[in-house]
Amino acid sequence: MSPAEEVKSRLDIIDVVSEYFPLKPAGANWRARCPFHEERTPSFMVSKSKQIWHCFGCGEGGDIFSFVMKQEGLEFPDALRLLADKAGVRLKAEDPTIRSERQRLMALLEAAVVFWSEVLWREVSAKSAMSYLVEERKLKPETIRAWRLGYASDSWEALINHLVKLGYKEEEMIKSGVAIRKMETRGRGAYDRFRNRIIFPIANTSGQIIGISGRTLSSSETEAKYVNTPETLLYYKGQVLYGLDKAKTSVKQQNLAIIVEGNMDAIASHETGVANVVASSGTALTQDQVRLLKRFTDNLAFAFDADAAGSGLKPLLKPNQCWSIISAEPSRSTILRNCRTNRR
Ligand SMILES: [Zn+2]
């Protein structure tokens, strides 16, 4: 039996789909509103006996793998890995299907995050980073660990040297976004993108690291406050929400997602026990991000600092969706709201 067949034999498509949104029984099948197209009456059907899904609205359909690929935005090898984990099927490391380039880059980012975290906890040079997190932002040590925050020291090659030791190639470091090619050496040599920065790992909905956001500790005006990995094979800006991997369960339970601007705001909120919060990471919310959230809830609330950010959201939000925009300005608690938030 191939690993894919074994995974299929151990998992029930009904359970897997139900982890993303509720299914209702419909005769011999189960149904829901289709996550892949806009609709009011459910035409997304799942068959327990055949272990397949099909949408009579948009015509999409397939098996457990194609569902997870579409739902999570994964390629087959990554969907196989995710479902194999769920099914308790061990994949051999040398299995060619899981040695995709994406997988390799994810492993590289994972190694980088482990490295930066160790620097934060162990190295003297990270003292100001730690005091920023603990004293200024009042984060608990367990929060810092849970969000896997780290520190990139003020060095041009600390990470690169570490990754070389682990067997990664310079080309891979550049492709993953953690290193930048040196301009003056005609395509040879690279340096660390993140220097003297607090590291916020950016994860996909499954919790795999796909990108990095780094906040500077320098007070220099010329230094960008945040530096992110550029768009890579793994990371498409505007298709990720910071913290969604940690917030998704609570978003589903509360049937409400609260979107804040800053990564640190999301972390602080989770620390106080409000866990249905994600961050747009300071950029304007995109349609893809709204779609991502709609897998878990139809109700969105925006908690932004100023009216300016809120007004830019209006064109994105559809009238048949429930949303509200909460302004932190004391004069108005809610500036926009299109319907009563339908909380379960
Ligand atoms: Zn559909």
Give me the interface pTM, i.e. the ipTM.
0.99
Give the model's confidence band at 282: pLDDT under 50 very low, under 70 low, under 90 confident, else very high: low
Tokens of 278: 């994600």
- What digits encode the pLDDT tens for the residues 165-214? 999 999 999 999 999 998 776 667 899 999 999 999 999 988 999 999 99
CA gap 256, 194 in Å, rounded? 34
Residue 158 alpha carbon to ligand 1 centre in Å: 48
Residue 59 alpha carbon to ligand 1 centre in Å: 6
pLDDT of residue 56: 93
Q: Phi and psi of 290, rounded to 5°?
A: -65, -45
Residue 234 alpha carbon to ligand 1 centre in Å: 25
Cα torsion 141, 178, 215, 208 to 10°: value is -50
Residue 44 alpha carbon to ligand 1 centre in Å: 6
Find the mean pLDDT for residues 45-50.
94
Is the model more confident about 242 or about 78? Answer: 242
Sign of CA dihedral 95, 114, 147, 219: negative
Tokens of 343: 């909380």
Residue 63 has pLDDT above 90, yes or no: yes
Find the mean pLDDT for residues 138-148.
96
Q: Of 265, 342, 338, nearest to 303 (Cα)? A: 265
Residue 37 alpha carbon to ligand 1 centre in Å: 5
Segment holding 151, helix H or strand E: strand 150-152
Q: Does domain 244-337 have CATH number 1.20.1440.130?
A: no
- What digits encode the pLDDT tens for the residues 202-239? 999 889 999 999 999 988 888 888 899 998 888 887 78
Residue 58 alpha carbon to ligand 1 centre in Å: 4
pLDDT of residue 132: 95
CA end-to-end distance (rounded Å), the chain:
43
The CATH homologous superfamily for domain 3-98 is: Zinc finger, CHC2-typedomain (3.90.580.10)
Give the distance from CA 295 to its chain's centroid.
13
Find the mean pLDDT for residues 78-100.
76
Residue 209 alpha carbon to ligand 1 centre in Å: 29
CATH of domain 101-228: 3.90.980.10
Q: Phi and psi of 306, rounded to 5°?
A: -135, 160
Q: Is 304 exposed, middle or buried (0-12, 13-18, 19+ CB in 10 A)?
A: buried
CA gap 152, 166 in Å, rounded? 18
Give the model's confidence band at 99: pLDDT under 50 very low, under 70 low, under 90 confident, else very high: low
Residue 34 alpha carbon to ligand 1 centre in Å: 4
Instruction: Please report, as a single letter, which amino acid is at residue 63.
Output: D
**Listed range (12-21, 214-223, 242-251, 296-305) with the worst mean pLDDT:** 296-305
297, 259 contact by CB (below 8 A): no
Listed by start position, the domains of the chain span 3-98, 101-228, 244-337
Tokens of 335: 């500036």
Q: Of 220, 339, 217, 242, nearest to 292 (Cα)? A: 242
Q: Phi and psi of 318, rounded to 5°?
A: -90, 145
CA gap 51, 41 in Å, rounded? 22
Tokens of 15: 């359970």
Determine what percent of the chain is predicted with pLDDT higher than 90. Answer: 52
Give the model's confidence band at 36: pLDDT under 50 very low, under 70 low, under 90 confident, else very high: confident
- What digits encode the pLDDT tens for the residues 283-341? 777 777 887 888 888 888 877 665 444 445 544 555 555 556 555 444 444 444 444 44
Find the mean pLDDT for residues 75-96.
80
Residue 218 alpha carbon to ligand 1 centre in Å: 49
DSSP 284: P
